[in-house]
Chains A and B, each alone.
Chain A
Amino acid sequence: MPLRLLKFGLVKSYPESRMFRQRDRLRPTYDAVIIGGGGHGLATAYYLAKDHGINNVAVLERGYLGGGNTGRNTTIIRSNYLTPAGVKFYDQSLRLWQALSETLDLNLFYTNRGHFTLAHTEASLRTLRWRAEVNKHYGIDSEVVDPQTVQAACPHMDLDCGGAPVMGALYHAPGSIARHDAVAWGYGREADRQGVEIHQQTEVTGIRVEGGRVTGVETIRGAIATPKVICAVAGFTPRILDWVGLRSPLKIHPLQAMVSEPMKAWLDPIIVSSSLHVYVSQTARGELVMGASLDPYELHSTRSTLDFAEGLAARMLDLFPFLSQAKVVRQWAGMADMTPDFAPIMGKTDIEGFYLDAGWGTWGFKATPICGKTMAETVARDRNHELIREFSLDRFSKYALVGEKGAASVGH
């Protein structure tokens, strides 16, 4: 590595090539078109090319790569969910994550920190025990621990929590964080190397459907013929579903987050309190990345509010009173596409050739690799992958909801 760095200092031109090629124009036809150049869309493109040899694929992104929820989440990766469908799915994702830096030949700053979900009431402790048992049954490293264990792992925490004492926690040793935008770049670069075309600033304006099947998409740069369209656009999903006449239970809520100024490393594990609505981790750069619950009502916007920053800061001080002088340096929001059962909506739809990767609410980043893998297989074989069968859009009309209450920012 040092020799490679030396090269950067000595040569006149920048020695690394761009992450992916800038394409001049769209081709008139593709085997598949992916709407949305976030982690999910790019991962799907990568696995379509890598696993299934389908590389005549275009990824269309209205803004820039990873500029949506891929770059707006709080980067937590874990698999200690509550339902069997969720646990199996996220466990496979975690396995892919652990090897992803090598797979993509890019340092994603994936760091294994351990993940504590705090309980402040008997009721939430009960849910955590339930989660631990489901997790263990499926071979996930997950256990309920006492407050002393939490204190030992995080000596700076005030276990009294401003009057709602920590009664225990669910500890998930594989809990990790990763640099989120690098994930989009890594998948983008490798997809590009496999021949996939990435088109930024290419907004899709319509989808052509004839006789119940997809025939193409319209964009601000012209029309494209394609038999397969994958929609991976998070908060924009309802608008696209409306074009093709599909109904869904998706509701869009802003999910805000903020970071503190960088400070000396003091917080190793990831700390989550669903009762206090706080989740926090410290990045390699020393910033505290903090998130809370969804904004309380439907809104298609990425605006930030002072109410949120004040509320989250107050609850952070309940956990860590010594932070009272720490400064918040950035605040932002993403549009979370929420489902009533806190599970995603994935796979085939009633329109032939129209595949949905949506309903990623507050749980999408950690699913990025497995989403790409399962969506790619679903598209290539035109059959829902085994792991996503329970996540299909028609589960609502069949009253077969998933009930994933292990999701983040969900009150218990």
Chain B
Amino acid sequence: MKIMTCPINGPRPISEFITAGAVKPMPNPQTADDLTWADYVFNHDSVPGVKREWWCHTPSNTWFIAERHTRTDEIVRTYLWEAA
């Protein structure tokens, strides 16, 4: 099985992890217009490449960021948000 390295628990099988999608800055919901908000909520940069994604090691509920190539599935780096 594919292995992912949790910044707290070390290398673990990928089935222990879930992803919550791309790391992207949230526009201010009070001031953003509908188009900006729709773009933030729905649209996704899907061109393959190294992407920053939110992942969670579910048994320990550790949320962290993974840099992963979305074409080769190579996990380049994982780190906690605080370390970013």
Contacts and interface: CB of A to CB of B under 8 A. Distances in A.
A397 B47 contact: no
A248 B42 CA distance: 8
A301 B19 CA distance: 18
Given A300-B70, A301-B71, A397-B39, A238 B47 contact: yes
Contacts of B18: 296
Contacts of A299: 70-71, 73
Contact of B46 (A248, A297, A301, A397): A248
Interface in B23-72: 34-35, 38-39, 42-44, 46-48, 51, 53, 70-72
Nearest to A237: B46
A402 interface: no
B1 interface: yes
A117 B57 CA distance: 33
Interface stretch (A20-28, A52-60, A249-257): A249-257
Contacts, number: 58
Contact of B38 (A238, A251, A252, A396): A396
A252 B35 contact: no
Interface residues of A, number: 25
A411 interface: no
A207 to B, nearest CB: 15
B48 A239 contact: yes
A14 interface: no
Given A247-B39, A307-B1, A301 B73 contact: yes
Contacts of A303: 73
Contacts of B34: 397, 399
Contacts of A248: 43-44, 46
A242 interface: yes
B71 A340 contact: no
A396 B19 contact: no
Interface in A227-260: 237-239, 242, 247-252
B42 A340 contact: yes
Contacts of B19: 296-298
B71 A397 contact: no
B48 A300 contact: yes
23 contacts: A238-B46, A238-B48, A242-B47, A247-B39, A247-B43, A248-B43, A248-B44, A249-B44, A252-B48, A296-B18, A297-B19, A299-B71, A299-B73, A300-B48, A300-B70, A301-B72, A301-B73, A307-B15, A340-B42, A397-B35, A397-B38, A397-B42, A398-B38
Given A238-B48, A247-B43, 9 more contacts: A238-B47, A248-B43, A251-B44, A252-B46, A297-B19, A300-B70, A301-B73, A397-B35, A398-B38
Interface of A: 237-239, 242, 247-252, 296-301, 303, 305-307, 340, 396-399
In the A-B complex, the 4 residue pairs with the smallest Cβ-Cβ separation, listed nearest first, are A238-B46, A300-B48, A249-B42, A396-B42
